[in-house]
C-alpha cells in the first residue's frame, strides 16, 4: 500500500529554468518543442503522463480531415468553408494559417516518417467527405504517428535543447506581477508529489481539449469521446493567468458508436461509400459534415420515430469492408473489432448503431478555446496556446501541428526569466495541489467528479435554456466548496483532484458563456430553446471571456475581423467591442402552492455572481458591535439606543439594527425604516423593506412616514420602489397621481404594485391607461384590478378583451363576472368558449357567472364537454351560481361523472 503523502514545504520546491516552457506533450506540444529547439531555444516539455504515449495521437490517427493539397483544394476555398461551418464567427487570419501552411506540415511530417495515402502515381490520395472540396487525406499507418514524433524529440540535437519532464503536471501559469506576462508555471510530480516550479521566457499551453466535461451515457468517468486525460487543464490555467477565452459556448458534440466510447468514423467510412441512415434505411443528413447543424439534424432524427440511426456499411463489397476494418480496428480504436465481435455484429450483415457523444470543449473540432492570433499568441504577453486548446475552428490534427509550429517559432525569441516569482501565486498553486492531503478522509475524487459532470449533463448540455444554465452556475459555484473538501492520499489522487478543479472551471465557463450568447448558433452546439433564432445583427461577434480584477467571469462581444476571403452569406458588422460584464442569471422559481408568491432570495453586499473561492474562507468572528446590539435587543431598546447602530459604518451592523427595529417596533419606527430604504447597502435596504411590510398593520400612517416612502420611489433599487408603493397603498398615504407616475417605472414588478395602488383609490381612468403596458403581467393585473374597484364596469375592460395575449384575454373575461357581464359582453364570452387557448375559455366560462341564466346556462352546459379540466371546472363553478335553473341542475348532475376529481367535487355541491 502507498505511504500517504505529507504536504511538502513550499520552500522545498524543485526549481527549473528554460527559455520556452511547453505544457503538454501531444500533437501541438511536441511540434512546438521541436520548432523552438530548432531555433535555438532551451525548452522544457512538461507532460503529466509520458510523452511517448500522451495526447490524442497516442492511439493513432486514421487520416487528416483538413489537408489543403495543391491541385485538390485551394486555401481560400478552405477558409470560406470553415467560415460557413462556424456560422461566420471566424478570425480568418488564423484559419488561413492552417490553409496555407498545412500542406508544408504534411510534407514535414512525411519527412519524419509519417505515412499518408498516395495513389499509383505518387500523388496524395485526397478524398471528398464534405459537400464541397476534397480535404481528407487517409493515413494507412496512422497508429505510429506518436512513435514517429517521439523519435524526433529524442534525436541527439533535440535532446541537447529539449528537456522532457514526464509525470509533471502544471496547475497554474505564473505571471509577472507588474506587467502580467507569462514567466513560468507551478505544478507537481504526479508520482512523487514534489512541488515543481519552472521559470521561463515564454509559456506554450498545448494541453488539448476539455474532453472530460459531460458525462458519457455509460456513466464511466473515463469513457469519453475525447482522450480522458484532457480535463481542461489549459483552459483553466489560461483563464486564471488572465487570458481571454472565446467561443466557450460552442460545444463539441460528435456522432459515436452506441455504447462504445469511439467515433463512428464517418470521415473514414464515407469516402469508402458508407453513410448515415435511419431505421428505414433513408439518408437524412442534409448539412455539411463540418458543422454543428449536422449534429442538430442527427439529434432530431434520433428523437423522431425514424430512430435509431446507423452507419451503413453492409451494402459495400467485401474488399471495401475489409479496407475499412483494417483502418477502424487498428488505427482508430484497437478495441473496436472486439466490441463488435462480442455483440455478434459484422459490418457485412449489421449496420452500426450510432448515438451522440457527451459535450466537451474543443477548438480543433468546434470553436471553443483560448483566443489566439495568427502566431498562436494569447492576450497575455508571452503566453501561447496551440492545438485543440486554441480557438481556431475546425483545426484538427494538421492545424494543431501548424499552430504548435507557430507558437514554437514566436516563443523562441525569449530567454529565461531570472527575476523574483510572485510568492502569492506560488502559495495559491501550492494550496490548490496539496489541500486534499489536509483532509484525506474527504469525499473521493470519483464521487465528486461524477456529481459535477452529472450536473453538466443535466443543465448545460443542449438544447440549452437560461433557466437550466442558471441552475448550472449555481451548482458549479456551490461545488467549489465540495471540490475544496476532496480527500487524497497519493500523488496520483492529487492529480485527479486538480483535474476536477479544472473541469469545474470549464463547466462554469461553458454555462456562463452559454447564458451570455442570447441566440442560437452552430446547430446543436449552441441551441437555446429560449432564443431559438440566429441573430447576425446582434451576435455576429466573438464572445470573449476573461477573469476580471475582482475574480469574476466577465464577457466582451468582439466584432469579427473583416474577412480575408469574402463569404456572401455573412457580413461582419465591424464596430467597437461591447463590454458585457458579468452575465445575469435567469431567475428560477421554486415550485410551491399556486397562489404563493416566490420567496425572495436574501440580498448580500457581495456580487451574487462572483465565483466562490476554491478554498472556503475561515468563518470570521462576529463583529463586537453586533454582539452588543443583539444583547441590547433583549431589553427592547428605544430609537435613541438603536441610533448609533443604525448609523454604523458597517452595513452588517446597520442591517442588524433595522432587523431589531422590526422586532421591537419602538415609537417612531416607521419614518426611520423609510429613511433606511435609501441606505447605500442593498442588505440594509432589503432589511428595511422587509420590516416595513411586516409592520405595515401596526405603523401609524404619519406624514413623515409618507414623505420617506415617496422619497424611496426615486431609489435605483427596484425592490425598494416596489416595497414603498406597497406600504403607501396599505397605509393610504398616496394618491392616484403618485401611483400613476409609477406606471412609467422601468421594472415590471414596480408597475404591478402601482396598478394595485391605483385599484386601492378606485382610479379607473388611470388603470385604463395601463391597459397598454408592454408587459403582460401588468395588463393581467389591470384586468383583475378593473374588476376589483368599488364600482366595476365592463367598458374599461374592452381593450383587454382583444389583447393579443391569451392570458390577458382570459383575465379580462374572468373580470367581466364582477361587472354583471351584460348581454353584449355575454355574447363575446360565449364566442370565447371556442378560443384555442384554454385560459381564454376558462375566463369566458367565469364571465358567464354574472350573466342571466337564460343566456349563460346553455353555453356553460356545452362547456362541460371541454377537453381541458380547468375550463370544465370554471363552467361548473359558474353553473353553481345558476343552480336554481333546472337546466343548470341537470348539467351539474351530469358533471358528477366527470373524469376530473375537482370537477366532480364542485358539481356535487349542487345537491347541497
pLDDT band at 131 (very low <50, low <70, confident <90, very high): low
Q: Any idea which of 174-178, 211-215, 347-351 has the lowest mean pLDDT?
A: 347-351
Q: What share of the chain in percent tops pLDDT 70?
A: 92
User: Exposed (0-12), middle (13-18) or buried (19+): which is 104, by Cβ within 10 Å?
Assistant: exposed
Q: In this structure, what are the phi and psi dihedrals at residue 485, rounded to the nearest 5 degrees? A: -95, 0
Highest mean pLDDT among 60-64, 220-224, 626-630: 220-224
Paired with 22 in beta bridges are 45, 204
pLDDT reported for residue 331: 61
Q: What is the mean pLDDT of residues 617-630?
A: 65
β-pairing, 255-257 vs 275-278, is: unpaired
pLDDT band at 631 (very low <50, low <70, confident <90, very high): confident
119-131 as b/e: b if 16+ CB within 10 A: eeeeebbbbebbe
pLDDT band at 605 (very low <50, low <70, confident <90, very high): very low
User: How far is residue 98's CA from residue 65's CA, in Å, rounded to a whole number?
Assistant: 12
Return mean pLDDT, the chain: 88
Residues whose CB is less than 8 angstroms from the CB of residue 108 and which lie 6 or more positions away in sequence, other chains included: 401
pLDDT in tens, 707-749: 999 999 999 999 999 999 999 999 999 999 999 999 999 999 9
The pLDDT of residue 634 is above 70: no
pLDDT reported for residue 613: 44
pLDDT reported for residue 493: 96
pLDDT in tens, 865-905: 999 888 999 999 999 999 899 999 999 999 988 888 778 87
Q: Any idea which of 29-43, 326-340, 684-698 has the lowest mean pLDDT?
A: 326-340
Q: Any idea which of 73-77, 367-371, 625-629, 701-705 has the lowest mean pLDDT?
A: 625-629
The pLDDT of residue 456 is above 50: yes
How many CB atoms are closer than 10 A to CB 140?
A: 17
pLDDT in tens, 291-303: 788 888 888 989 9
SS (H, E, C) 7-76: CCCHHHCEEEEEEEEEECCCHHHHHHHHHHHHCCCCEEEEECCCHHHCCHHHHCCCEECCCCCCCCCCHH
| DSSP 8-state symbol, 261 | S
Q: Any idea which of 231-235, 287-291, 661-665, 746-750 has the lowest mean pLDDT?
A: 287-291
Q: What is the mean pLDDT of residues 813-838?
A: 92
Q: Which three cell numbers stand for residue 774?
A: 408592454
Paired with 97 in beta bridges are none
Q: What share of the chain in percent tops pLDDT 90?
A: 62
Q: What is the mean pLDDT of residues 214-241?
A: 92
Paired with 45 in beta bridges are 22, 164
Q: Any idea which of 339-348, 405-414, 749-758 has the lowest mean pLDDT?
A: 339-348
Q: What is the mean pLDDT of residues 466-492?
A: 95
Name residue, grid cell 449552441: 526
User: How far is residue 204's CA from residue 372's CA, in Å, rounded to a whole number?
Assistant: 12
Q: What is the mean pLDDT of residues 262-267?
A: 68
pTM over 0.85: no
Closest CA to 839 of 861, 807, 869: 807
Give Cα separations from 173 to 217, 404, 477, 598, 612 (angstroms). Answer: 34, 18, 23, 44, 21
The pLDDT of residue 62 is above 70: no
pLDDT in tens, 391-447: 999 888 899 999 999 999 999 999 999 999 999 999 999 999 999 999 999 999 999
pLDDT in tens, 91-125: 999 999 999 999 999 899 888 888 888 767 678 77
pLDDT reported for residue 86: 92
Amino acid at each position: 500500500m502507498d505511504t500517504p503523502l505529507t504536504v511538502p514545504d513550499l520552500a522545498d520546491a524543485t526549481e527549473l529554468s528554460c527559455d520556452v516552457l511547453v505544457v503538454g506533450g501531444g500533437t501541438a506540444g511536441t511540434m512546438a518543442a521541436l520548432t523552438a529547439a530548432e531555433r535555438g531555444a532551451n525548452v522544457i516539455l512538461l507532460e503529466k503522463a509520458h510523452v511517448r504515449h500522451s495526447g490524442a495521437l497516442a492511439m493513432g490517427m486514421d487520416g487528416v480531415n483538413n489537408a489543403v493539397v495543391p491541385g485538390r483544394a485551394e486555401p481560400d476555398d478552405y477558409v470560406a468553408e470553415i467560415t460557413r461551418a462556424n456560422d461566420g464567427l471566424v478570425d480568418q487570419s488564423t484559419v488561413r494559417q492552417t490553409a496555407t501552411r498545412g500542406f508544408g506540415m504534411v510534407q514535414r511530417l512525411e519527412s519524419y516518417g509519417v505515412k499518408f495515402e498516395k495513389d499509383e502515381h505518387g500523388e496524395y490520395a485526397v478524398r471528398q467527405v464534405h459537400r464541397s472540396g476534397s480535404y481528407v487525406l487517409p493515413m494507412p499507418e496512422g497508429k505510429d504517428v506518436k512513435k514517429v514524433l517521439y523519435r524526433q524529440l529524442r534525436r541527439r540535437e533535440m535532446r541537447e535543447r529539449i528537456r522532457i519532464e514526464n509525470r509533471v503536471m502544471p496547475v497554474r501559469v505564473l505571471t509577472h506581477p507588474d506587467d502580467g506576462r507569462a514567466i513560468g508555471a507551478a505544478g507537481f510530480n504526479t508520482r512523487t508529489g514534489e512541488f515543481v516550479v519552472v521559470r521561463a521566457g515564454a509559456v506554450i499551453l498545448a494541453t488539448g481539449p476539455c474532453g472530460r466535461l459531460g458525462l458519457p451515457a455509460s456513466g464511466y468517468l473515463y469513457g469519453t469521446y475525447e482522450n480522458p486525460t484532457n480535463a481542461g487543464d489549459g483552459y483553466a490555467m489560461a483563464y486564471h493567468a488572465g487570458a481571454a477565452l472565446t467561443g466557450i459556448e460552442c460545444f463539441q458534440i460528435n456522432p459515436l458508436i452506441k455504447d462504445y466510447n469511439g467515433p463512428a468514423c464517418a470521415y473514414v467510412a464515407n469516402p469508402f461509400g458508407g453513410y448515415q441512415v435511419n431505421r428505414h434505411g433513408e439518408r437524412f443528413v442534409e448539412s455539411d459534415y463540418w458543422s454543428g447543424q449536422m449534429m442538430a439534424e442527427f439529434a432530431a432524427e434520433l428523437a423522431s420515430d425514424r430512430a435509431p440511426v446507423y452507419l451503413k456499411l453492409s451494402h459495400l463489397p467485401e474488399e471495401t469492408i475489409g479496407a475499412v476494418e483494417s483502418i477502424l480496428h487498428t488505427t482508430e480504436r484497437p478495441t473496436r473489432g472486439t466490441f463488435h465481435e462480442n455483440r455478434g455484429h459484422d459490418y457485412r450483415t449489421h449496420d452500426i448503431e450510432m448515438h451522440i457523444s457527451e459535450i466537451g470543449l474543443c477548438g480543433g473540432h468546434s470553436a471553443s478555446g483560448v483566443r489566439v492570433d495568427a502566431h498562436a499568441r494569447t492576450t497575455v504577453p508571452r503566453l501561447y496556446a496551440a492545438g485543440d486548446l486554441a480557438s481556431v475552428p475546425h483545426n484538427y490534427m494538421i492545424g494543431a501541428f501548424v499552430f504548435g509550429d507557430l507558437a514554437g517559432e514566436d516563443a523562441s525569441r525569449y530567454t529565461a526569466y531570472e527575476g523574483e516569482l510572485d510568492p502569492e501565486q506560488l502559495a495559491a498553486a501550492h494550496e490548490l495541489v496539496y489541500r486534499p492531503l489536509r483532509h484525506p478522509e474527504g469525499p473521493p475524487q470519483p464521487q465528486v467528479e461524477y456529481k459535477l459532470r452529472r450536473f453538466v449533463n443535466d443543465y448545460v448540455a443542449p438544447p440549452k435554456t437560461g433557466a437550466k444554465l442558471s441552475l448550472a452556475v449555481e451548482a458549479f459555484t456551490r461545488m467549489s466548496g465540495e471540490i475544496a473538501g476532496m480527500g487524497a492520499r497519493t500523488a496520483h489522487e492529487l492529480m485527479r483532484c486538480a483535474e476536477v478543479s479544472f473541469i469545474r472551471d470549464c463547466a462554469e465557463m461553458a454555462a456562463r458563456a452559454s447564458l451570455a450568447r442570447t441566440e442560437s448558433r452552430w446547430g446543436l452546439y449552441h441551441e437555446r430553446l429560449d432564443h431559438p433564432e440566429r441573430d447576425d445583427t446582434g451576435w455576429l461577434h466573438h464572445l470573449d471571456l476573461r477573469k476580471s480584477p475582482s475574480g469574476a467571469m466577465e464577457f466582451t462581444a468582439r466584432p469579427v475581423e473583416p474577412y480575408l476571403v469574402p463569404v456572401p452569406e455573412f457580413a461582419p458588422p465591424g464596430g467597437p467591442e461591447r463590454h458585457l460584464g458579468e452575465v445575469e442569471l435567469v431567475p428560477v422559481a421554486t415550485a410551491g402552492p399556486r397562489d404563493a408568491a416566490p420567496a425572495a432570495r436574501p440580498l448580500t453586499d457581495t456580487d451574487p455572481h462572483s465565483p466562490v473561492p476554491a478554498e472556503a474562507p475561515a468563518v470570521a468572528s462576529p463583529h463586537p458591535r453586533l454582539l452588543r446590539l443583539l444583547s441590547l435587543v433583549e431589553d427592547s431598546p428605544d430609537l435613541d439606543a438603536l441610533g448609533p447602530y443604525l448609523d454604523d459604518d458597517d452595513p452588517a451592523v446597520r442591517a442588524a439594527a433595522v432587523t431589531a427595529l422590526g422586532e421591537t417596533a419602538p415609537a417612531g419606527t416607521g419614518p426611520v425604516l423609510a429613511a433606511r430604504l435609501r441606505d447605500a447597502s442593498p442588505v440594509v435596504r432589503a432589511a428595511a423593506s422587509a420590516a416595513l411590510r411586516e409592520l405595515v398593520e401596526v405603523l401609524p400612517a404619519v406624514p413623515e412616514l409618507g414623505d420617506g416612502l415617496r422619497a424611496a420611489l426615486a431609489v435605483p433599487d427596484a425592490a425598494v420602489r416596489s416595497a414603498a408603493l406597497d406600504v403607501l397603498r396599505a397605509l393610504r398615504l398616496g394618491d392616484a397621481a403618485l401611483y400613476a407616475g409609477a406606471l412609467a417605472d422601468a421594472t415590471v414588478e414596480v408597475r404591478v404594485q402601482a396598478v394595485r395602488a391605483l385599484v386601492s383609490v378606485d382610479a379607473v381612468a388611470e388603470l385604463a391607461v395601463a391597459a397598454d403596458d408592454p408587459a403582460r403581467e401588468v395588463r393581467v393585473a389591470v384586468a383583475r384590478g378593473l374588476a376589483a374597484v368599488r364600482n366595476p364596469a365592463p367598458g374599461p375592460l374592452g381593450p383587454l378583451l382583444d389583447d393579443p395575449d391569451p392570458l390577458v384575454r382570459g383575465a379580462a373575461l374572468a373580470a367581466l363576472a364582477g361587472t354583471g357581464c351584460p348581454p353584449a359582453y355575454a355574447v363575446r364570452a360565449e364566442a370565447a368558449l371556442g378560443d384555442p387557448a384554454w385560459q381564454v375559455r376558462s375566463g369566458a366560462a367565469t364571465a358567464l357567472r354574472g350573466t342571466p341564466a337564460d343566456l349563460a346556462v346553455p353555453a356553460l352546459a356545452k362547456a362541460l364537454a371541454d377537453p381541458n379540466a380547468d375550463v370544465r371546472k370554471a363552467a361548473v363553478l359558474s353553473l353553481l351560481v345558476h343552480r336554481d335553473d333546472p337546466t343548470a341542475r341537470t348539467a351539474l348532475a351530469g358533471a358528477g361523472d366527470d373524469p376530473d376529481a375537482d370537477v366532480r367535487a364542485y358539481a356535487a355541491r349542487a345537491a347541497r
